[in-house]
């Protein structure tokens, strides 16, 4: 079974731009979570989606948004990028929110 895939793997943007990251979960997994990883803050939870509904949201500004489609694929969007948004963005999927999460390779975003 294929693992979690994330596209693109690397991205360079400038301040003020917006970016959309994509995540395809493991086949059969209906829950997707997003995390931001930075050297200073570590791994921080962004959001969790299950059956197209946002179940949980972390403590991030409204510039960070996400959605999930009927095929369980998910996207997250960051508008008005700031330098501090440079990070590794990790997506994880699980069969349902109570089950073990499996992570993708991440999208590394650099904001200049």
Instruction: Note the residues at the interface with another protein (CB under 8 A).
Output: 4, 6, 33, 35, 42-43, 45, 48, 55-56, 58, 90, 92, 97-98, 100-106
The Cα–Cα gap between 49 and 72 comes to: 9
Please, which residue, 18 or 38, has the CB nearer to another protein? Answer: 38
Please, which residue, 12 or 14, has the CB nearer to another protein? Answer: 12
Please, which residue, 32 or 78, has the CB nearer to another protein? Answer: 32
Least distance from another protein to the Cβ atom of residue 50, Å: 11
């Amino acid at each position: 079974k294929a693992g979690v895939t994330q596209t693109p793997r690397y991205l360079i943007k400038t301040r003020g731009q917006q970016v959309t990251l994509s995540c395809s979960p493991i086949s059969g997994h209906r829950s997707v979570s997003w995390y931001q990883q930075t050297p200073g803050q570590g791994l921080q939870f962004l959001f969790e989606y299950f059956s197209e509904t946002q179940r949980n949201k972390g403590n991030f500004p409204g510039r960070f948004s996400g959605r999930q489609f009927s095929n369980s694929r998910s996207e997250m969007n960051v508008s008005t990028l700031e330098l501090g948004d440079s990070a590794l963005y990790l997506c994880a999927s699980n069969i349902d929110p109570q089950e073990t999460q499996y992570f993708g390779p991440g999208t590394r975003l650099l904001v200049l």
